Amino acid sequence: MDNAYVLWGFKVGAAVLAEDGKIYAGCNVESWISGIGICAERCAIDHAVSHGSRKIKEIAVVTSADSQSEPRPCGVCLQYIYDFAENPKIKVVMAKAENGKILFETVKVKTIGELLPYPFKK
């Protein structure tokens, strides 16, 4: 989250536990042109894929404590997580952080199936 490039939103960090057992991190990178930035979740998944790991076992998403939004993936990211999920029951851990520490009272854990009950699939 500390590496996020934020122009108009708020900082988000993500980490995926990939099928190879490694953890790959990502952060949001914004642009003044809408649509060409990337969310932290997709950044982390792309990081895993670019290192040869095509399936993820779990994902964690953290937003800054001053964010007015719930710490959860957007709709685009939910579909992306589903696309690379090892199975539809993988956990999505969501929380807020302040000064580099997770605020445990904000932690929520859901499956991708709970967050995206009707995914687009073949």
Which member of 19, 30, 41, 70 is catalytic? 41
86 is catalytic: no
Q: How many CB atoms lie within 10 A of CB 116?
A: 20
Residue type for position 7: L
Whether the Cβ atoms of residue 79 and residue 111 lie closer than 8 Å to each other: no
Residue type for position 93: V
* Residue among 98, 106, 109, 9 nearest 59 (CA): 109
Find the Cα–Cα–Cα–Cα dihedral 40, 42, 48, 50, rounded to 10°.
-120
- Parallel/antiparallel/unpaired status of strands 56-64 and 91-98: parallel
Residues serving a catalytic function are 41
